Amino acid sequence: MTHVVLVTAPDEKTARQIARALVEEGLAACVNLIPGLTSIYTWQGEVHEDAEWLLLIKTTDTTYPRLEARIRQLHSYEVPEIIAIAVTKGFHRYLHWIEESVK
């Protein structure tokens, strides 16, 4: 099964480093980088508002555990956002490409 994994990063450099590593290592077929995100959240009892980048990562269910572990190694946040959403429908040729692209 295909998954889209959402990850936020503090800046473009970090987002690109994570994205490139995941694709080069065969853990993701594709990563889209979306700038201009503002996150408002609570952390350690305080409300924060930060500019971030969003990574949309395409991977598979079987690859997800290794992908999550690698993101945790590469990421600067103590508790990074890593949320996997199962893709239940999509263009079959694109979904097949994702399956074939990850190792």
pLDDT of residue 85: 98
Is the separation of the CB atoms in 47 and 83 below 8 Å? no
**Which CATH number covers residue 34?**
3.30.70.120
Structurally, the chain folds into a number of domains equal to: 1
What is the pLDDT at residue 91? Answer: 98
- Give the pLDDT of residue 103: 84
Q: Which domain holds residue 87?
A: 2-101
Residues of the chain scoring pLDDT < 50: none
What's the pLDDT at 102?
Answer: 97
Left if phi > 0, otherwise alpha if psi is -120 to 50, otherwise beta: which for 42?
Answer: beta
What is the model's pTM?
A: 0.95
Q: Is the dihedral of CA 87, 32, 36, 14 positive or negative?
A: positive
